[in-house]
Structure 1
């Protein structure tokens, strides 16, 4: 497909949006013969969630290529990728970045025939649900952005080209310190509303990303009965303004301790005792628990805010770098990476491939929702799960049967970013 036929107008519009967003916040690689006889280098741009040094080292060893990781905050890396496709080969982030990346023409189509284990990828990635009886949830479920349609748009109708490789994913919620916030019951009393509960004034932090933190706060406002939404995954401009008017009053009252830009930042806020409840990603919870500070990852009665990891190829990547990039993407579905990220509470899109590389206890805890029969270690080798503990929210299937909304870039994105900027700096 000739992506150059796409209109320049949406490209300019989305580059402008990306700029505003920044303000807010085991198959070896075949031998390559060249004059220098050098290994190909793949430059990977993404967040701290997946760009971890043990992963880079393992991939380099197994693939025989060089990998350069450039992790950053979500808004930062999205802006960089949108503005400078020549600065990366592979982009790793979340599906809510796809509209920006595609309409700014920063990425090129992927050929699923070059994804060795494409057939193993489960229905969640391809249809938005694990089982037909599950609700998909509001917003941009992953399949809605996966396939490149005949008119050049992104959609759910399967075609011969895809916009990204679906890989890691999770259902996010809020983390809290049970020594400061009374422990709730999963799916019964734990609630997004805790983020806007006056009892926690001055001890609340939010992820600094308008296409993520916005939904945490919208779910909180709705749970507290402060307002409602016709479609929380596609808010009207009036609803966006009403929500931020409410949030600005909370901000003026000193309700928020701050806004975090990375997973390590969120972990420090809680492990240092600066916050009691906050937006959190699963690796942050693991970091806090590994530090010795108690932290529970809520299973909100309103449902989770879900996301799906995307791995994209820069429009500028060609030749041996492109071949190496495909090998790197295929490696992510080879088993070991999925087992590794499961220990920080994440899932992989072809989980059966990782099962044999996890202990029975690990699989039962992380995927089946069973009580731990032994102490379980996190990615850093420190204990994060104690004997008898059960994963909050239950099994993989149960968690993804309770999705309220997916991370989404809505049509009202410009207004959302404008109001988010005002909210953060007020």
Structure 2
């Protein structure tokens, strides 16, 4: 458990968890009986050792975490559902997993906190005036329909548990920023600006990096998309012709496969600007490397975390998997993950495990009233700093596009691999 949560808060959390589980008809697994092992496959952003240890302690189960790069774990999970019990990634993985038969419907009656989950994943909007965003907004792919397709009509069965989520953009090193770039004019177009040439990195994921580059190309006026959430074959040809030319002129310094690799790219100054996820920015700031997470004027690329149940998981392990899903929404995990810049689907339950300063900074978008520590224990936010993009509601009201598996997905894969190997 994080040393920044008071011991009284810890005891209250454990007691509350046990009470909640008992009320829901679930008890920690009996002593003397081998504890069930739940195998969780996913990425480094949520498969962290502190979370594994805390969940095992609170639930009386065994957990094994298998983190990896987003593209590689998606391929493994879709091809071998027997190789995991729970899968944690982003909503753009859902269509691939569902079509492969790798994941099973989740019964919302078994989710203790379902009624507390906010409107973002249920209706697509965090506020009435918010932009829904192009592409696979989570409410479009969460509900299992009677014909076994995925859609927006609620049926009591879902394809994923909504839990962590965030908006992504790019990060850049303030120490090496050309004075001609102004933070108040942040734009996706910076990724393709010649002044950064040779020092740009992109996430190596065709359902994520593609949209970073599409947003950048459109912001620069190089390519125009009719619907950026559903790019056509012709538009893909035009986009990748441009990108291959830039790659062959050494505009890109690399393509990262995991959050730790993105941190290393920036720390070594191999890159000055790159696709980034919030935990990487937090880690670098904790190492006194002044990386700013941009709030692009065109809007963010949004993502929603998904926790999926393997279609091959049964019996006691399946029961333990449901307990782990419920644990994630029980308060403490949401507070832990907030310290690396992520939101949780029922944030009010996590508020009691965050200090007032943490809540005001991470959720309300207010200046930090004191230095704040990240999940690694290092100070990642200095007193007086303010989160780029503002409050939770502000940031999720400005989603330009969601991580998406487009109708042209297979063709986009082909074009992506042509690009990165050119």
TM-score (norm 1): 0.92
Shift of 1:32: 4.3
C-alpha distance in 1, partners of 2:219/2:344?
A: 30
Secondary structure of 2:166's match? strand
Structure 1 residue 102: Cα displacement = 0.4
Answering whether residue 138 of structure 2 is matched by residue 133 of structure 1, we say no
Residue 317 of structure 2 corresponds to residue 321 of structure 1? yes
1:230 aligns with 2:247: no
Q: Following the alignment from structure 1 to structure 2, what is the Cα–Cα distance between the partners of residues 355 and 87?
A: 35
Deviation string 1:173-197 (CA, Å, 9 cap, x unpaired) is: 00001111247666x4001000000
1:30 and 2:27 correspond: yes
Q: Secondary structure at the match of 2:330?
A: coil
Alignment of 1:210-359 (within 5 A): 210-359=206-355
**Separation in structure 1 between the aligned mates of residue 163 and residue 96 of structure 2, nearest angstrom:** 19
Q: Give 3-state SS (helix, strand or coil) of 1:179's partner.
A: helix
> In the TM superposition, what is the alpha-carbon distance from 1:425 to its structure 2 partner?
1.1
The separation in 1 between residues aligned to 2:228 and 2:178, in whole angstroms, is 28
- CA distance in structure 2 between the partners assigned to 1:31 and 1:383 by the alignment: 35
Per-residue CA shift, 1:276-328, capped at 9, x if unaligned?
Answer: 10000000101111122110000000000000000010011111000000000
CA shift, 1:30, in A, is: 2.2
Alpha-carbon distance between aligned partners in 1 of 2:87 and 2:194, rounded to the nearest angstrom:
39
Q: What SS does the aligned partner of 1:324 have?
A: helix
C-alpha contact 1:268 1:288 (8 A) present in aligned 2: no
Q: CA separation in 1, counterparts of 2:361 and 2:166? A: 15
Answering whether residue 71 of structure 2 is matched by residue 71 of structure 1, we say: no
Q: Quick check: 1:199 aligned with 2:189? A: no
Q: After the TM superposition, which residues 398-413 of structure 1 pair with which residues of structure 2 at under 5 Å, given as runs?
A: 398-413=394-409
SS in 2 for 1:218: helix
Count residues with an aligned counterpart: 399
Listed as ranges, the gaps of 5+ residues in structure 2 are: 1-16
CA distance in 1, matches of 2:141, 2:406: 13
Confirm whether residue 114 of structure 1 aligns to residue 110 of structure 2: yes
Q: Does 2:151 align with 1:161? A: no
Mark the CA change 1:31 to 1:169 in structure 2 (over 3 Å): closer, same or farther: closer
Q: CA deviation at 1:150?
A: 1.4
Q: Residues 156, 185 of structure 1: CA spacing in aligned structure 2 closer, same or farther, 3 A cutoff?
A: farther
Distance of 2:207 and 2:221 partners within structure 1: 22
- Counterpart CA distance in 2 for 1:339 and 1:174 is 24
Quick one: distance in 2 between partners of 1:156 and 1:41? 33
Q: Partners in 1 of 2:127 and 2:289 — Cα distance?
A: 36
Structure 1 residues 31, 390: CA separation in 2 closer, same or farther (over 3 Å shift)? closer
Q: Give the corresponding residue for 2:388.
A: 392
Q: Which secondary structure state, in structure 1, belongs to the residue aligned with residue 39 of structure 2?
A: strand
Name the residue aligned to 1:179.
Answer: 175
**1: CA distance, partners of 2:369 / 2:65:** 36
**Cα deviation code 1:52-90 (max 9, x no counterpart):** 000000000000100000000111111111111111100
- 2:13 corresponds to which residue? none
CA distance in 2, matches of 1:32, 1:273: 49
What is the DSSP-based 3-state SS (H/G/I as helix, E as strand, rest coil) of the residue aligned with 2:418?
A: helix
Give me the whole-angstrom Cα distance separating, in 2, the residues matched to 1:368 and 1:216. 26
- Does the alignment pair 1:367 with 2:363? yes
Secondary structure of residue in 2 paired with 1:239 = helix
Q: Residues of 2 paired with 1:131 and 1:219: CA distance?
A: 24
* Equivalent-residue separation in structure 1 for 2:208 and 2:357 (angstroms): 32
Partner of 2:51: 55
- Structure 1 stretches (4+) deviating beyond 2 angstroms? 26-34, 182-186
Q: 1:166 to 1:31 in 2, by over 3 A?
A: closer
Provide the alpha-carbon RMSD of the alignment.
1.2
Q: Find the residue that maps to 1:248 and give its secondary structure.
A: helix
Q: Distance in 1 between matches of 2:244 and 2:176?
A: 25
